[in-house]
Amino acid sequence: MIPVTVLTGFLGSGKTTLLARLLRHRDMGRTAIIVNEFGEVGIDHDLIATSDESFVQLSNGCLCCNVRSDLVLTLGELAARRDAGTVSAFERVVIETSGLADPAPILHALMTDPEVAARFALDGVVATVDALTGVRALECYGESLRQVALADCIVVTKTDLAPAAGVEQRVRSINPDIPVLHVVKGDIAPSILFASAARAARLPAAGSPAAAMYWSAEASHSGGIGSISIVRHRPVHAATLALFVSALADNCGPDLLRMKGIVAVVEEPERPAIIHGVQHVYHAPAWLARWPSADRRTRLVLIGRRMRTSWVQELLDLLDAEVADQLARCARPQAGNAAAATTRTLDGA
Amino acid sequence: MDDARIRAFILESLELWQVRASVDSADPPCVAVIRGDDGRTVWLERAHADSPFRWLARWHAGEASGQARTRPCGSLVGVLSALRMALGVDRGSPVRIAPAPEDA
């Protein structure tokens, strides 16, 4: 499987500068680049030096609006060219979205399109936010908010021009647990960037200040988008988890942008489940081999609009109570059947 | 799970959906009566213990037909879905499950 990193960020936030600098790094030699520009005439490709044909420019509109027809076809074509040996055997794909893109449809395509999912795996989302104008962009533009909300890693750019504290605080009020890197003129090693953005690998260590922030049961809000965190001490049944994500998708609709967490499951007490969702599209739970720390509580973070901590907590509690009751009901007839069988045996005797 | 807790949860669900409605208690087996400001009414009952379902939601499909609709629900997920249908709430999309990252 070829990992795909989505590089997003608002207009002028430094995506192309970051990508251009990354591409100078020798570790990026086996990376295919897909750049989406909003406009008829592409400019970004002139700013990005590439050494082979593993570079595709999409300039017929915003990628998030044409995601099926363009991104899916482009990835398929890249895979075919890789198989045929007409491009280098790239080991990673980086997709740079346009500054106005909503990353969600792109992530949905990467997660659910069968042809894409057969060859490519979403590795993470990097969002650039610049220290100079990032706070204002987050206040004024929903696209910027959504890019930060859906990110797995934030790169604060232009920290040589303005202090990063304000924008970092705002970013953390939207998406509290993710790594925030300060980068000047795109100067960062690809390995550090991709490792920071790898969504499957990242869980905050219990007891750390970051973990305390991540797992606090407080809601924070920024421009209508905020995050809530749920901590539950008792494990939930596996069936509850399926009902829970279904109910969230059904009832929160587009207000829920992102859900992620670690879940203690009754049926697998030694193996927590990791869940990731983007709007109504979820990865199947990934099971860790063991708990990463002594903290075995279920911890969930939901990012979106009008999210209610009390409703989400109660939904999870009520559904798990129903599932437990249903399992008890199912067990009862078996006991009854056993008793009836015993009676029949005795009658027969 | 007591009736008052179910009613409180339904009330908060209505607030989440931004629907103006009241939630009142009623005689068993009815757990809650939900009355929308637009006149729509839903009765939520516990299903009989022998039933494969846990809940029954009843409402009138429309003034013209006057036809009552009953939707059996296996869980509160179904109850919320029935309430959204009865009250005309357009919310989310059915959940889609993609392969887990390490499966991929």
The string of pLDDT tens digits covering residues A53-86 is: 455 655 445 555 555 667 888 888 889 988 998 8
Q: Show the tokens assigned to A320.
A: 């798990």
Residue A208 clears pLDDT 70, i.e. is over it: no
The answer as to whether B36 is a domain residue is: yes
Domain that holds residue B15: 3-87
A104-117 residue pLDDT tens: 888 888 888 888 88
Query: β-pairing, A180-183 with A153-157?
Result: parallel
Domains in chain B: how many in total?
A: 1
Residue A200 contacts B, CB cutoff 8 Å: yes
Residue A258 contacts B, CB cutoff 8 Å: no
The answer as to whether B103 is a domain residue is: no
Q: Rounded mean pLDDT of A181-197?
A: 90
The answer as to whether B26 is a domain residue is: yes
What chain A holds in terms of domains, given with CATH numbers, is: 2-201 (3.40.50.300), 209-330 (3.30.1220.10)
Place of tokens 């797995």: A152
What residues of chain B score a pLDDT lower than 70?
A: 61-66, 91-92, 99-104
Residue B73: phi, psi to the nearest 5? Answer: -130, 135
Query: β-pairing, B55-60 with B41-46?
Result: antiparallel
DSSP class of residue A1 equals -
Residue B50 contacts A, CB cutoff 8 Å: no
Residue B4 contacts A, CB cutoff 8 Å: no
Judge: B91–A112 Cβ closer than 8 Å, yes or no. Answer: no
Q: Rounded mean pLDDT of A138-163?
A: 90
What pLDDT does B79 receive? 97
What pLDDT does A227 receive? 79
Instruction: Work out the minimum CA distance from B67 to partner chain A, whole angstroms.
Output: 26
Judge: A251–B17 Cβ closer than 8 Å, yes or no. Answer: yes
What pLDDT does B20 receive? 93
Q: How far is CA B40 from the centre of its chain?
A: 13
Which residues, listed in sequence order, are joined to residue A4 by a DSSP beta bridge?
Answer: A93, A122
Q: Rounded mean pLDDT of A295-320?
A: 91
Q: Which residues in chain A touch residue B92, judged by CB atoms under 8 angstroms apart?
A: 248-254, 256, 280
Residue A185 clears pLDDT 80, i.e. is over it: yes
Judge: B75–A310 Cβ closer than 8 Å, yes or no. Answer: no
Residue A243 contacts B, CB cutoff 8 Å: yes
Residue A265 clears pLDDT 80, i.e. is over it: yes
* Residues of chain A above pLDDT 70, percent: 78
What pLDDT does A347 receive? 37
What pLDDT does B61 receive? 66
Residue A219 contacts B, CB cutoff 8 Å: no
Instruction: Work out the minimum CA distance from A62 to partner chain B, whole angstroms.
Output: 23
Lowest mean pLDDT among A111-125, A294-308, A331-345, B74-88: A331-345
Among the partner-chain residues A122, A247, A306, the one whose CB lies closest to the CB of B80 is A247
- Asked if residue A190 has a cis previous peptide bond (ω within 30° of 0), the answer is no
Residue A289 clears pLDDT 80, i.e. is over it: yes
Q: How far is CA A79 from the centre of its chain?
A: 23
Task: Look over chain A and give the mean of its residue pLDDT values, rounded to a whole number.
Answer: 79
